[in-house]
Amino acid sequence: MKHRLTFLAALAAAISIPAAAEEAPDRGALMQWGYTLAGNAESDLPLINLRAPLCLLVAADDPEFAAKVGKRIIANAREAGVRTKRGKCRPNAVIAFAPDAQGQLLEVREKTGRVYGSLYASQLDRLLETEREGFAFQLHDFQSADRPRGLVDNSSARADMAAALVVVDAASAEGLTVVQLADYATLRLLAPTGDLRTLPANADAQATTTILTLLRDREAAPAEMTRFDRAYLESLYSLGRGPQAKRVMARASKIALADEGM
């Protein structure tokens, strides 16, 4: 199956900012937080993950900046147990830094009727209701356990993540560190994440901090992925293909609390 990659590139800067403090909630609260981060996931439903080896492309005007972001994302992916491609490969994950990201995505939609493979205009419209600075697209690839790919697309078929694209508005990226931007992109490329502006307004004041708030509130955002961010990503890829949300969150909460020493 061929997927056309659409990406936009522009300048992004990297300047250090202070980290936000973290406190750990109890395990039940962490699991509920995990469902929220994953887009209000239902506990009994599977979460998609990238089963093919990661082939990453970072689109930015500054090659040195792009290389640093890419190196960090690859390191994060390997730490989480995601297989990665070496050398030349066809990208299945792209992060692009674009001037006026919203406007350019709208232009692409008007010209082609879709953005990034099978993600159509209506999906972009929904994203634009809650997103302004960063946009994440994940292309699902349905495949049944007992029938060839392309013959079924129903409740008995499992969905893998075939490819992913993150577009960050270049102006919104200014003043953020390479680590912050790479960690934000890592989570949004490799894991299901919700509409970021719908996260609870008081989330930043709790132990349930996340790098996903980076573009929403840079002053309160952490300096890198939090314990639970990493635990979520690692759990998503350690439990096989399309693991149940409740299994992922149960494991992630256990790891996060163990890392906290509780």
Judged on CB neighbours under 10 Å (0-12, 13-18, 19+), 31 is buried
User: How many angstroms separate the Cα of 239 from the Cα of each of 132, 165, 188, 257?
Assistant: 33, 24, 19, 19
Domain ranges of the chain: 27-260
Tell me: pLDDT of 105 over 60.
yes
**201: which residues sit within 8 A by CB, 6+ positions away?**
none
pLDDT digits (tens, 9 = 90+) for 189-213: 999 998 766 676 555 444 568 999 8
What's the gap between Cα 170 and its chain centre? 18
What's the gap between Cα 123 and its chain centre? 16
Residue 19 is classified by DSSP as P
Cα dihedral value 229, 128, 19, 9, nearest 10: 100
Nearest 5°: phi and psi at 140?
-85, 145
**87: which residues sit within 8 A by CB, 6+ positions away?**
none
pLDDT digits (tens, 9 = 90+) for 149-184: 333 333 334 568 988 989 898 888 999 999 999 999
pTM of the model: 0.79
pLDDT digits (tens, 9 = 90+) for 117-129: 555 556 666 666 6
Tell me: pLDDT of 137 over 60.
yes
